[in-house]
Structure 1
Amino acid sequence: MSDTLPDGGATAQPGGEAKAAPRVVRTRPRADGRINPTTEYSGLLSTVRDAGLLRRRTGFYYTMFAVLVLALGGIVTGFVLLGDSWFQLLLAAALGIVLTQFAFLAHEASHRQVFESGKANDVAGRTLANLFVGISYSWWMTKHSRHHANPNVLGKDPDIERDVISFTSEDAARSRGLYAWLTRRQGYAFFPLLLLEGINLHIHGFRTVFGRGKVDKRWVEISMLVTRVGLYLAVIFWALPLGMAFAFLGVQMGVFGLYMGASFAPNHKGMPLLPKEARVDFLRRQVLTSRSIKSTWLTDLYMGGLNYQVEHHLFPNMPRPALRRAQVIAKEYCATHQIPYTETSLLESYGIVVRYLNRVGLSAGGDPFDCPAASAYGR
């Protein structure tokens, strides 16, 4: 059997909705008494496929898109009617929320969740990401595909690479001076720093499309990004006084960055890290490094389906409306195969993230600290 890691949070017990879950496919041991990891995942995949949970739900996505377009239209109308008023900042915050929801749809299109056709998903995702949200679809696809293939794997997952925030003690130990001071307090600084994440996402997008690396549909993305950002800035600075225009942009970008980061961060931060050379099968690699959030209709809406993170990683092309039923199946399957399934409340997950980052930050400036990945493997 492949190596496994201990759980990094609260372990949920199997449970589900009143509606009966489909029968879970059982896997048979090999002659040596062990179960083939590939067979384990195949059994789970067969169960969700037989339940019809991989069927496309285009009606849901058309409805979501229509609602968001209406919301965007309402914000634009309010912007025109309000004119020179500081109440525009409320609309800026609303715009940040709506753009994040558009980003969720682009994310789902990138996973082929929306349409059967890969081309249709790419067209939708590229249009939503570049023309509506203002970030590069190609940059997102490259980065996010690497993350899904190796979640929380050191040296492979770009989401845990060192940036302003350090996710490993080794990275934190390289911090010096003012940077080390910030790193030692990075857990507390994490959410305030997310206010700048919107700007960071836009910068990464432009650096990608104008860079030398391979970019699919480069000129399409350039034209979309330049049109979107150019028109947006032109309207803001034409319609509002200079100071108010900057304030509008600051609020919109701050809300967008905070909302995006607060939706993605709970999913893996503080969960076990895997060494680059670790041999962990697909099922365990996805489950043990992911954290789902206890779900209500509000968290479903707020997180755009990311609250079902374990299921999203196990079945990345599963449409959002099917994830709740898939969770019932996945929990039962993990319990049957003795694979820890992690689920916490949203607020608990934020607390875990803050404490984890502060703990990692203790190594800033070269202070000794046990690496979370090494500790997990007893090294």
Structure 2
Amino acid sequence: MPPQSGDTEEQEEPILDFSQLFTWEEIAIHTGQGHGTSGQERWLVIDRKIYDVSKFYLRHPGGRQVISHYAGQDATDAFVAFHKDKELVKKYLKPLQIGELAPDQPTSEPSKNKLLVEDFRELRATVERMGLLKPNYFFFFLVFLHILVLDAASWLTVWYFGSSLVPFLIGMALFVTAQAQINWFQHDLGHFSVISKTTWNRFLHILVMGVQKGMVASWWNHLHNQHHAKPNCFRKDPDLNMHPILFSLGKTLSVELGKKKKKFMPYNHQHKYFSFLAPAFLVPFFQFIVIYFSIKRRKWLELFLIVTYNIRVCLMYVPLMGFKSFMAYYWLARYLESTWFIWVSQMNHIPMHIDYDQNLDWVSTQLQATCNVNQSWFNDWFTGHLNFQIEHHLFPTMPRHNYWKVAPLVKSLCATHGIEYKSKTLLTAFADILHSLKDSGEHWLAAYLHG
């Protein structure tokens, strides 16, 4: 007999029925991009459980796009890679579960390398047992401290020596260096790798991006999470959105662009104009798109911090050098900072495989899109440890000071499965950007003339 009103017996939670079983073929049609009811729904698989995220993706904390990129696919390894507190997240997933994989279905999609997936998951468990996902607070304190010293030194140089040419250039160099290093530090915060608690990482990310860079953390997360989910996958990786506005990237897309007779730029010369045009494009893009984003998404706190940053910088420098000199100081510094950022961020990706999403396993997806730059004290500092791009992409929440520890394990995994583990010198990595752009431009030109 069910309890009556006033009874002290606790109400039992409703038992959800997960008896419905599905095949990979049935899951694959629920991508949110097809026709009919099934095509408009978004399903994904995590640990053999099937979730309908057709409505949830709109309020997904990591962004609606990043979860949509895995619609109709196995998202197990991506889920594990992105979420630090998996048990908490699973509580939110539970109401979305609609069934499970049928017993005769493999754990991973048939198209994936089963042995590689299993071995990587064992490696992931080893990494967690070794404590390599735990941050060293003293390391990040020193990183932040050296940024503050550089930032202060840039102002003190102009304040003490004046704004003649030499102190102007020295102060600007220090300002550029501080801003570049803030780039790497905010990147750490955005990946929740500085502090154990996700909420503190998120709060400090907003603060650092707004107060020290005049940028919007939520905008960065919106784009960067997608990049990590599907790196070098056209239409899913926002870092490829420059294609085909300024550059033609990768053989497949270059040939496609050429056959369509698209010529927004002389792509066969893109290796010549990349060095100056790419940072020149990013400077206004970064400065103004963040304002548009914060207003459109109603990120009022972050918009306030942007305004605060610009007022603070003006009050620090304009009285010392005048408005016109400060404008030259600031915008030239931003251009140089963007140059630093572009060469470091693209040396690991542009020379690698670029194509549409092939729905490969997590390891293959990351390894075909990334390469490393050899370790050295300078390379680690100059790139914010993004010379370990392979390890960073496989374990995006891992604190950067542990990349070198996991690198031998990743190399061993690659050797076991016959996968190339690419690592280069810094100058070779820079040169390969231009070589790749030249090759892509030639593929475009051949298809444009003869396709």
User: Residue deviations 1:254-276, cap 9 Å, x none?
Assistant: 22111111110111112112323
**Residues 365, 337 of structure 1: CA spacing in aligned structure 2 closer, same or farther, 3 A cutoff?**
closer
User: Residue deviations 1:238-287, cap 9 Å, x none?
Assistant: 432444223212321122111111110111112112323x1200011111
**Residues 245, 128 of structure 1: CA spacing in aligned structure 2 closer, same or farther, 3 A cutoff?**
same
Which residue identity lines up with residue 288 of structure 2 in the other structure?
A: I
Residue aligning to 2:317: 236
Match of 1:274 among 355, 358, 371: 355
Taking the aligned partners of 2:393 and 2:450, their CA distance within structure 1 comes to 30
Larger Cα-atom Rg: 2
Q: CA deviation at 1:165?
A: 2.4
Residue aligning to 1:164: 246
Pairing of 1:1-379 with structure 2 (within 5 A): 35-87=114-166, 88-161=168-241, 162=243, 163-167=245-249, 168-169=253-254, 170-171=256-257, 175-176=262-263, 179-181=264-266, 183-196=267-280, 197-211=282-296, 214=297, 218-276=299-357, 278-362=358-442, 363=444, 367=448
Taking the aligned partners of 2:441 and 2:205, their CA distance within structure 1 comes to 36
Q: Secondary structure at 1:113's aligned position in 2?
A: coil
Q: Secondary structure at 2:347's aligned position in 1?
A: helix
Taking the aligned partners of 2:293 and 2:307, their CA distance within structure 1 comes to 13
**Residues 226, 175 of structure 1: CA spacing in aligned structure 2 closer, same or farther, 3 A cutoff?**
farther
Structure 1, 101-110 or 356-365: larger mean CA deviation: 356-365
Taking the aligned partners of 2:407 and 2:118, their CA distance within structure 1 comes to 19
Which residue identity lines up with residue 188 of structure 1 in the other structure?
A: K
Which residue identity lines up with residue 265 of structure 2 in the other structure?
A: A
User: Residue deviations 1:269-325, cap 9 Å, x none?
Assistant: 12112323x120001111121111111111000000100000000001111110011
Taking the aligned partners of 2:238 and 2:411, their CA distance within structure 1 comes to 28
Runs of 5+ unmatched residues, structure 1: 1-29, 371-379
**Partners of 2:117 and 2:361 within 8 A in 1:** yes
**Partners of 2:155 and 2:316 within 8 A in 1:** no
Taking the aligned partners of 1:337 and 1:100, their CA distance within structure 2 comes to 37
Taking the aligned partners of 2:123 and 2:449, their CA distance within structure 1 comes to 42
Total equivalences in the alignment:
331
* TM-score (normalizing by structure 2): 0.69
**Partners of 2:215 and 2:306 within 8 A in 1:** yes
**Residues 319, 241 of structure 1: CA spacing in aligned structure 2 closer, same or farther, 3 A cutoff?**
same
**Residues 223, 369 of structure 1: CA spacing in aligned structure 2 closer, same or farther, 3 A cutoff?**
farther
**Partners of 2:153 and 2:174 within 8 A in 1:** no
Q: CA deviation at 1:175?
A: 4.5
Q: CA deviation at 1:64?
A: 0.9
Identity between Structure 1 and Structure 2 (%): 22
Which residue identity lines up with residue 183 of structure 2 in the other structure?
A: A
Q: CA deviation at 1:156?
A: 0.6
Q: CA deviation at 1:365?
A: 10
**Partners of 1:175 and 1:364 within 8 A in 2:** no
User: Residue deviations 1:100-153, cap 9 Å, x none?
Assistant: 101111001110110111111011111111210122111110000000000011
Which residue identity lines up with residue 348 of structure 1 in the other structure?
A: T
RMSD: 2.3
**Residues 171, 208 of structure 1: CA spacing in aligned structure 2 closer, same or farther, 3 A cutoff?**
farther
Taking the aligned partners of 1:66 and 1:237, their CA distance within structure 2 comes to 25
Q: CA deviation at 1:354?
A: 0.5
**Partners of 1:308 and 1:323 within 8 A in 2:** yes
Q: Secondary structure at 1:130's aligned position in 2?
A: helix
Structure 1, 163-172 or 283-292: larger mean CA deviation: 163-172
Structure 1, 314-323 or 249-258: larger mean CA deviation: 249-258
**Partners of 1:89 and 1:251 within 8 A in 2:** no
Taking the aligned partners of 1:230 and 1:238, their CA distance within structure 2 comes to 12
Which stretches of structure 1, 4 residues or longer, exceed 4 Å deviation after superposition?
171-175
Q: Secondary structure at 2:246's aligned position in 1?
A: coil
Taking the aligned partners of 2:317 and 2:384, their CA distance within structure 1 comes to 28
User: Residue deviations 1:16-36, cap 9 Å, x none?
Assistant: xxxxxxxxxxxxxx9x9x744
